[in-house]
Amino acid sequence: MSIRFDSEARIFVLETAHTSYHMKVDALGHLLHLYYGKTIGTGDLMQLYPRTDRGFSPDYYAYRTHRGVSPDLLPQEYTGCNVGDFRLSCLTVADSRGAFGADFTYVSHTVEAGKYQLTGLPCAHAEENDAETLIVRMQDEATGLTLELLYGVFAQQDVITRAARLTNHGDTPLRLDKAASACLDLPFGRWDLLHFHGRHAMERQLEREAVGTNIQTISSVRGSSSHHNNPFLILCQQDATETSGACYGVMMVYSGSYQMDVERSQTGLVRVVSGIQEERFAWNLKPGETFDTPEVILSFAAEGLTPLSQQYHRFLRRNICRGPWKDKRRPVLINNWEATYFDFNTEKIVKIAEKAASLGVEMMVLDDGWFGTRNDDNQGLGDWTVNCEKLPGGLDPLIGRINALGMKFGLWIEPEMVNENSNLYRTHPDWALTLPGRKPAMGRNQLVLDLSRPEVVDYLAEAIGKLLREHHIEYIKWDMNRSMSDVYSRTFPAEQQGEIMHRYMLGVYALAERLTQGFPEVLFEGCAGGGGRFDAGMLCYYPQIWCSDDTDAIERLTIQHGTSFGYPVCTMGAHVSACPNHQTGRTTPIDTRAVVAMSGTFGYELDLGKLKRTECTAVKNQIKRFKRLNDLIRTGDYYRLTDPAENTYFTAWQFAAEDGSEALLNLVVTHPQANPLPIHLCFRGLEEDAVYELDGIDYFGSQYDHDGGKAIEDGIHKGMRFSGSTLLYAGLVLPQLFGDYPSVQLHLTRKG
Q: What is the pLDDT of residues 223-250, one digit of tens each?
A: 999 999 999 999 999 999 999 999 999 9
With 90 as the cut, is the pLDDT of residue 342 above it?
yes
pLDDT tens string 502-516? 999 999 999 999 999
194-203 mean pLDDT:
98
Helix (H) or strand (E) holding 746: strand 743-751
pLDDT digits (tens, 9 = 90+) for 558-593: 999 999 999 999 999 999 999 999 999 999 999 999
Q: d(Cα 277, Cα 288) in Å, to the nearest integer?
A: 24
Per-residue pLDDT, averaged over 128-140, amounts to 95
What pLDDT, on a 0 to 100 scale, did the predictor assign at position 303? 98
Cα angle 664, 668, 674; round to 5: 135
- Specify which residues 745 forms β-bridges with: 666, 698
Mean pLDDT of the chain: 96
With 90 as the cut, is the pLDDT of residue 183 above it? Answer: yes
Mean pLDDT over 355-370 rounds to 98
Q: How far is CA 702 from CA 497, 552, 705, 740, 744, in A?
A: 59, 18, 8, 7, 13
pTM: 0.97
Q: Can you give the pLDDT at residue 736?
A: 85
CA 675, distance to chain mean position in Å, is 41
Q: What is the mean pLDDT of residues 371-399?
A: 96
CA distance 472 to 569: 28
Task: Please name the residues in contact with 613: beta carbons below 8 A apart, sequence gap of 6 or more.
Answer: none
Residue 714: band (very low, low, confident or very high) from pLDDT cuts 50, 70, 90: low
Measured from the Cβ of residue 8, the count of other Cβ atoms closer than 10 Å reads 6
pLDDT at 713 over 80: no
- Give mean pLDDT, residues 342-351: 97
Half-sphere exposure of 104 (CA within 13 A, CB side): 30
Are 146 and 169 in contact by the 8 Å Cβ rule? The answer is yes
Which of 615, 693, 705, 740 is labelled catalytic? 615
For 620-667, what is each residue's pLDDT tens digit? Answer: 999 999 999 999 999 999 999 999 999 999 999 999 999 999 999 999
- Residue 709 is predicted with a pLDDT of 45
Instruction: Quote the distance between the C-alpha of residue 411 and its chain's center.
Output: 23
pLDDT of residue 752 exceeding 80, the answer is no
**177: annotated active-site residue:** no
pLDDT of residue 509: 98
Cα dihedral 723, 725, 726, 731 sign: positive
Integer Cα distance of 29 and 33 in angstroms: 13
pLDDT digits (tens, 9 = 90+) for 431-467: 999 999 999 999 999 999 999 999 999 999 999 999 9
Question: Which pLDDT score, from 0 to 100, does residue 703 have?
Answer: 57
Contact present, 604 and 652 (Cβ < 8 Å): no
Q: Cα dihedral sign for 631, 632, 638, 643?
A: negative
Give the pLDDT score at 128.
83
How far is Cα 296 from Cα 273, in angstroms, rounded to an integer? 10
Q: Does the annotation mark 591 as catalytic?
A: no
DSSP secondary structure code for residue 181 in this structure:
E
Q: Among residues 72, 130, 535, 550, which one is catalytic?
A: 535
Q: Does position 738 have pLDDT exceeding 90, yes or no?
A: no
Task: List pLDDT tens digits, range 51-86.
Answer: 999 999 999 999 999 899 999 999 999 999 999 999
pLDDT above 60: residue 712: no
Q: What are phi and psi of 699, to 5 degrees?
A: -100, 135
From the list 206, 215, 122, 109, the residue with the least C-alpha distance to 161 is 122
- Residue 706's pLDDT band, with cuts at 50, 70 and 90, is very low
Element holding 628 (H helix, E strand): helix 613-635
